[in-house]
Chains A and B, each alone.
Chain A
Amino acid sequence: MKHMKHQKEQFEKKEQPRSVRLSNADYNDFQETAKKEGKTFSAFLRDCARHRNNSLEPGLVVHMQNVMNTAVELILRYEPQNTKAVEKLEKEVGS
């Protein structure tokens, strides 16, 4: 799929340069990981900082949501009379 460039608002533009001191080991480690993930060094560090409290990546959350959606669809198809289970799952899905 082709992608479009994100049009940044003024507050999103990267206008604050900072330098960071790293050991050679850390530098090599981060550099290698950034390369594997297809990111620049700066993008990699920004992502680490931004998501330091969030271990759930969106791809995993999407997958979990789809599993729940399938469960609800199966109940609706094979046990449509089981409305309590359906309502419970519908509310829990994604909340």
Chain B
Amino acid sequence: MAIIKVKKDFSGGLKYLKNVCGYIYDQNYAVGLGGNGVNPYHPDICYEQMLAVKKYYAKTTTNPLIHVIISYSIKETPDIQTAVYYTRQIAEYFRKEYQTLYCTHNADHEHSWFHGHILVNSVSFMDGKMFSTGSEEMKRLEEWVESVTQSDAHVEYWSKEKDKKYHEKKARSQSNR
């Protein structure tokens, strides 16, 4: 089963967008970098391009992006090439209206070996409308992910508190090794 985590950060603003663009390019883990409507090779340029769309539609405040993280199950995604292919195909969901930056991280996690990151500019480049993460839209995303991975998919909304707990747990398990 693929787990889709949807992260939004209202407090970080554009700084959050810049930080996440940089995080995606982590050279230790990132494989299969790609983008829709952005330069996938330089995080600073990618950030400026997403910001340009926001400025064009005068929507630079509130939630700057939707950060989608897909954890692929160990059984159904045996190798990094499959995970890279899945991430690329899942990112196609946003292609018609939203800039995206995506990559696959080759990192060891509790339930998966690989996970895909897709950063979605919350402002549509077509008409400036904001991406909705309501239940209807997320259901459609789940269905898309299921059609790509040929397995069940489930969306989880990821809050800052959950993020903090996750990183604390990770730090504890790394210090115990």
Contact = CB atoms under 8 A, between A and B. Distances in A.
A4 B130 contact: yes
Interface residues of A, number: 28
Given A51-B56, A54-B56, A94 B38 contact: yes
B155 to A, nearest CB: 14
Interface in A21-44: 38
A61 B39 CA distance: 11
B142 interface: no
B126 A59 contact: yes
A9 B61 CA distance: 7
B28 interface: no
Contacts, number: 81
Contacts of B61: 7-9, 12
Given A62-B99, A94-B46, A4 B37 contact: no
Given A50-B58, A93-B39, A94-B49, A3 B99 contact: no
Contact of B40 (A54, A58, A69, A91): A69
A36 B108 CA distance: 51
Give the bracket for the number of chain B residues in contact with chain A: 35 or more
Nearest to B95: A66
Contact of B39 (A5, A8, A58, A65): A65
B39 A3 contact: no
B41 A66 contact: no
Residue of A4, A58, A72, A94 most packed against chain B (CB within 10 A) = A58
B132 A4 contact: yes
A66 to B, nearest CB: 6
A8 B133 CA distance: 18
Given A59-B126, A65-B38, A94 B45 contact: yes
A20 interface: no
B135 to A, nearest CB: 10
B97 A1 contact: yes
Nearest to A60: B125
Given A62-B36, A65-B38, A94-B46, A3 B56 contact: no
B158 interface: no
Chain A to chain B: the 7 pairs with minimum beta-carbon distance, closest first:
A62-B37, A94-B39, A58-B125, A3-B129, A4-B132, A90-B41, A2-B132
8 contacts: A1-B96, A4-B132, A9-B61, A62-B99, A69-B39, A93-B39, A94-B42, A94-B48
Interface of A: 1-9, 12, 38, 50-51, 54, 58-59, 61-63, 65-66, 69, 72, 90-91, 93-95
